[in-house]
Structure 1
Amino acid sequence: MRILVTGGAGFIGGHLAESFLRDGHEVTVLDSLEPFYAEGIKQHTLNVHRQVAAKTDVEYRFVEGDVRDIETVQNVVRGADIVVHQAAQAGVRESVDNPRKVTDINIDGTVNLLEAAKEADVERVIIASSSSVYGKPQSLPYKEDHPTEPVSPYGVTKLTQEHMARVYTELHGLPTVCLRYFTVYGPRMRPNMAISNFVSRCVNGEPPVIYGNGQQTRDFTYVADVVDANRTLLESDAADGDVVNIGSSDNISIQALAETVRDQLAPELEIEYESAREADAEYTHASVEKAGELIGYEPSRTIVEGVSEFIEWYQANREWYEPLVRS
């Protein structure tokens, strides 16, 4: 199978491309290498891809380009069987500071991709959406029919992606699936996320810093579970035209998360607190019942198990990863 992964040098896209290569698929990665975080992490990911491709003797191609460039998008989509669309301007706070940029990349870039996929008659487009589409909870855990009232420009762009995908399915018969990810973490994760930040500080004898009172809760999803969901959708049409939560069905307060990391690495440290950041969700918690019914999805780790696994990975990869996290 020939698979295009947009944003394939990033955290989630990088793991997806690596997994597809290990499975023997031909993979093209499109990524602009946007310096939203340390580019060295993306370069490490691309090196992993090349190593895996060499070992498995499968075709791999990296294209440095932007989803906002229509011609580039058309060229990489042409010939693909499946498009896995991970490219986006990430970051809730980044979207508050620069809403035009997040709109251009996440909405216009997605329209470019859907148009190209329609013209190329691809088998399926799998789109990375986000729990940010929900906004303020009326009930928890979030089910897919929960009202969507995002509280950040980022969340609005993700919800717009979903509507665009649905329209292309209904109007043009283009099979699309939107996966609502709940705060994904794991090896090579973005350095500005709570888990990587807590671990980095504790490893270096610095107290973890919580923004707000720590009572906010999150449903963190281990990246291997996201990979499994996408791998299933390469072959399954059970979720075509639909949106599906991908979470852990578990949740934890930021306070408890910081304590979990601190207690494992540096129990003598006192947690510090700073002012809450605007547009951050107060609570997230996924119902994954629909994902289980449609594609057999089942989270593989509790949050505490996954965090412990990430800490082990961090310590084993500290030499190259930590300088990039702390830069």
Structure 2
Amino acid sequence: MDRELACLRVTAVVIGRKSQGDPRVSQRKPKVLVTGADGFIGSHLVEALVRDGYDVRAFVCYNSLGSWGWLDNPASDVVNAFEVVSGDIRDPHGVANAMKGCDIVLHLAALIAIPFSYHSPDSYVATNVTGTLNVLQAARQLGTSRVVCTSTSETYGTAQFVPITEEHPVNAQSPYAATKVAADQLALSFYHSFETPVAVLRPFNTYGPRQSARAVIPTIIGQIAAGKREIMLGALSPTRDFTFVRDTARGFIQAMNCDAALGRATNIGSGFEISIADTVDLIAEAMGVDVQVSQDPERIRPSGSEVERLFAGTAVAEKIFNWSPEFGGRDGFVRGLRETAEWFQDPANLKAYKTDRYNI
């Protein structure tokens, strides 16, 4: 099948199934559920979907404060333009109810902090593995037209060759990574066993405004924005392929509309590899300051658990759903860092972070 036709077919099928007898309905876009919509990537994805004209339901983690996470204060152009449902990804009944009436599910809900997975691995199994199973079971029962599950570059472990293609062996080096490998395999098993229309998207090190302080870029920027000139970090030699959050959000939207993405894991990344030490230098330059780095032993991963090198091969995404990074290469990374730093330097945003402590 022609690539472009393959990538458009899911929209035509979904719309056609709902549009019998009313030509006006045939023009509508599918209804999309985003799990983990209250988080960093999820909130950006909700905004991108709304701007693209999708009917969006945001599944957020229930809490007694009634908070929707980052969706409490979305971009001004999407306020009141999406539905919010609170629940718990670990609860199969709540997940199934949230998915009713939705054509597509973009499943992002997960525990992601690697250090906390050393502390509480059981919670990662319950959230990342059982939570994904709940989505898959509901999709099978409801006849959901498309599910995209979120993977991570951490599933590959330290690169055995670069760029890391989808053929690279998986090698989980942390309990977090192990649960994501398990979730990926569950998703693909439902495709093979039950023909559940599942795709797995594997972003490399997403960064940008709203990212949690457990990640290295907000850790660096947050400390500088708070006035510190001696930055506390962990390992400085590992390299990463950092992907700007709007590129990641666009990857989800393009993957969900592509039949050729079904039954496989597909990488997205920036095509640029940089060490943590050099990332500090670029951030300091972007923020117009000089900094020194001190290594904090508490922030060092166990030696066998540190992923030393990640560098994405994205040829498959480029081929099957025409994705490429708008913030690619060194220049794109610098642009993304400047936008991220500008967001964190806004006092209204910075006050949400505890920059004086190590966040696991």
TM > 0.5: yes
CA separation in 1, counterparts of 2:218 and 2:247? 18
CA separation in 2, counterparts of 1:136 and 1:219? 12
Alignment partner, residue 277 of structure 1: 301
Mapped contact 1:92–1:280 kept (Cα < 8 A): no
**Between Structure 1 and Structure 2, whose CA radius of gyration is higher?**
2
Alignment partner, residue 44 of structure 2: 15
CA separation in 2, counterparts of 1:258 and 1:298? 25
Alignment partner, residue 231 of structure 2: 208
Counterpart mapping for 1:77-88 below 5 A: 77-88=99-110
Match of 1:288 among 287, 311, 314: 314
How many angstroms does 1:230 deviate by?
1.1
CA separation in 2, counterparts of 1:263 and 1:233? 35
CA separation in 1, counterparts of 2:123 and 2:214? 19
CA separation in 2, counterparts of 1:105 and 1:14? 19
Long gaps (5+) in structure 2? 1-29, 356-360
Check 1:205–1:111 CA distance in 2 against 1; reply closer, same or farther (3 A cut). Answer: same
Percent of paired sites with the same residue: 30
Mapped contact 1:21–1:52 kept (Cα < 8 A): yes
Alignment partner, residue 160 of structure 1: 182
How many pairs align? Answer: 316
CA separation in 1, counterparts of 2:245 and 2:100? 28
Long gaps (5+) in structure 1? none
Counterpart mapping for 1:176-187 below 5 A: 176-187=198-209
Residues 145-202 of structure 1, C-alpha deviations (whole Å, 9 max, x = no match): 1111110111111111111111111111111111111111111111221111111211
CA separation in 1, counterparts of 2:240 and 2:88? 31
Residue identity opposite 1:16 in structure 2: L
> Quick check: 1:298 aligned with 2:321?
no
Residue identity opposite 2:35 in structure 1: T
Check 1:34–1:12 CA distance in 2 against 1; reply closer, same or farther (3 A cut). Answer: farther
Alignment partner, residue 76 of structure 1: 98
Mapped contact 2:96–2:138 kept (Cα < 8 A): yes
Alignment partner, residue 347 of structure 2: 319
CA separation in 2, counterparts of 1:49 and 1:168? 36
**What is the Cα-based RMSD across aligned positions, in Å?**
2.0
How many angstroms does 1:305 deviate by?
2.4
Check 1:249–1:268 CA distance in 2 against 1; reply closer, same or farther (3 A cut). Answer: closer
How many angstroms does 1:296 deviate by?
0.8
Counterpart mapping for 1:1-327 below 5 A: 1-32=30-61, 43-48=69-74, 52-54=78-80, 58=81, 60-206=82-228, 207-212=230-235, 214-275=236-297, 276-278=300-302, 279-301=305-327, 302-315=332-345, 318-326=346-354
Mapped contact 1:3–1:25 kept (Cα < 8 A): yes
Helix, strand or coil: the match of 1:238? helix
